[in-house]
Structure 1
Amino acid sequence: MEFKETVKSRHSVRHFSKKNVSTTDIEEIIKLAQLAPSWVNSQPWKVYAATGKALEQIKTDYETKDRNSEKSHPDFPVMHRDDWNNRTQANMKQWRHEIVHHFTDFDEAHHIMSDASNHLNYAPAILFLTMPKDSSLWSVFDMGSFGQTIMLAAKDKGLDTIPNYNSVRFPEVLRRYLDIPEDETIVVGISIGYAEAAKINTYRSKREPIENVLKIRK
């Protein structure tokens, strides 16, 4: 796939089909992603791929915690949306407005989005990215570069992805089933698979005009 087309066609898929992702594909994607830049070649990343029974156990435990109204507690602290700066809040509000408009009404949008979120997007595989707890803050940039390269490499293979907070809400569950040690921070989960033919997957979020993002001085 042409690089520009790969970047433009990547988008967040929120409902995956039941088709499995091969171990070979996962290995090849991660091997390619390892070429991402990292500060002084520190390569802080590790990947724990949850598939099959392990992923089903994780989903079951998450559903139990949700039914019991257990408060989420990811390794990275979460900031309330009202505390974000005005510029990013405006983008989030526009995103929510677009999603509601994409469906029939607010109730339909809320039901579909919540169902996908509560079932971890029905993903057949989730890649959990971690880094050492005693890392430099600059390692977060490395993790972002690594994660984006994973998603582009996946798209190049015809696979879809979504990086999501919802899959890392209960770190103790992930540590139990994936043997993630306590000295590693669970950064994000990237759901990966093949997109289901569902209306939720036809939505494409918009991006800010280039003049609002890029400032060039000569």
Structure 2
Amino acid sequence: MDLIEVVKKRHSVRHFSQKSVATSDIKEIIKLAQLAPSWVNSQPWKVYAATGKTLEQIKADYEQKDHLNEKSHPDFPVMHRDDWNNRTQANMKQWRHEIVHHFADFDEAHHIMSDASEHLNYAPVILFLTMPKDSSLWSVFDMGSFGQTIMLAAKDKGLDTIPNYNSVRFPEVLRKQLDIPEDETIVVGISLGYAEDIKINTYQSKREPLEDVLKISK
């Protein structure tokens, strides 16, 4: 694909098929993502790819914690949606409205979204991105650049992704199963695979009008 096509076709997939992802594809995607920019070439990123039995165990451990109603505690603090600024809250509310409208039934939409979330989107691969705990705040920008490059590189190979908070809710599970050291912050999980042929995957969120985002001063 050319760049414009890749950018336009990448969107968050919420339910993956069980088709396996080649290890060689994972390696090529991460190698390309390493070309992303970073502050003074710090390259703060590391990637822990969970697949197969390891990922099955992570999902099982998460399901058990959910069953026990254990409160989520990711390495990055989470702000309640009601505390976000008005502009971003409006976008989130519009997103929820669009999803319900996409299904034409709130209960159906809620059931499908909740099921996907509880099963970590049924992904065959999750890439967990970390950075050193003693990093500059600028490293968060670097991690975003790295993560976006991963998702674009994946799309170029015909693979789908979704970056998500849900997969990093219980860092102690990930540290145990993936041998992630305590001095690394678990930033985000990127689910990777091939989209299941299911209605939820046909939804694509809208973006604000360009004039509301871009200001050009002359």
Interval of TM-score (by shorter of Structure 1 and Structure 2): over 0.9
1:77 maps to 2:50: no
User: Aligned residue for 1:48?
Assistant: 48
The root-mean-square deviation of aligned C-alpha atoms, in Å, is 0.3
User: Aligned residue for 2:110?
Assistant: 110
Give the Cα–Cα distance (whole angstroms) in 1 for the partners of residues 217 and 43 of structure 2. Answer: 34
Q: Secondary structure at the match of 2:28?
A: helix
Deviations 1:42-62 (A, max 9, x none): 000000000000000000000
Q: Which runs of 5+ in 2 are unaligned?
A: none
Q: Secondary structure at the match of 2:136?
A: coil
Shift of residue 188 of structure 1?
0.1
User: 1:86-125 residue pairs with structure 2 within 5 A?
Assistant: 86-125=86-125
Q: Which runs of 5+ in 1 are unaligned?
A: none
Give the Cα–Cα distance (whole angstroms) in 1 for the partners of residues 34 and 40 of structure 2. Answer: 14
User: Aligned residue for 1:148?
Assistant: 148
User: Aligned residue for 1:37?
Assistant: 37
Give the Cα–Cα distance (whole angstroms) in 1 for the partners of residues 21 and 177 of structure 2. Answer: 19
Shift of residue 111 of structure 1?
0.3
User: 1:163-178 residue pairs with structure 2 within 5 A?
Assistant: 163-178=163-178
Shift of residue 118 of structure 1?
0.4
Give the Cα–Cα distance (whole angstroms) in 2 for the partners of residues 197 and 158 of structure 1. Answer: 14
Counterpart residue identity of residue 132, structure 1: P
Q: Secondary structure at the match of 1:28?
A: helix
Give the Cα–Cα distance (whole angstroms) in 2 for the partners of residues 204 and 130 of structure 1. Answer: 27
Counterpart residue identity of residue 213, structure 2: V
Deviations 1:110-168 (A, max 9, x none): 00000000000000000000000000000000000000000000000000000000000
Give the Cα–Cα distance (whole angstroms) in 2 for the partners of residues 11 and 212 of structure 1. Answer: 22
User: Aligned residue for 1:208?
Assistant: 208
Give the Cα–Cα distance (whole angstroms) in 2 for the partners of residues 6 and 130 of structure 1. Answer: 25
1:199 maps to 2:199: yes
Counterpart residue identity of residue 169, structure 1: R
Q: Secondary structure at the match of 2:115?
A: helix
Which portions of structure 1, spanning 4 or more consecutive aligned residues, are displaced by more than 2 angstroms?
A: none
Deviations 1:37-90 (A, max 9, x none): 000000000000000000000000000000100000000000000000000000
Count residues with an aligned counterpart. Answer: 218
User: 1:22-33 residue pairs with structure 2 within 5 A?
Assistant: 22-33=22-33
Q: TM-score, normalised by structure 1?
A: 1.00
User: Aligned residue for 1:130?
Assistant: 130
User: Aligned residue for 1:184?
Assistant: 184
Shift of residue 104 of structure 1?
2.6
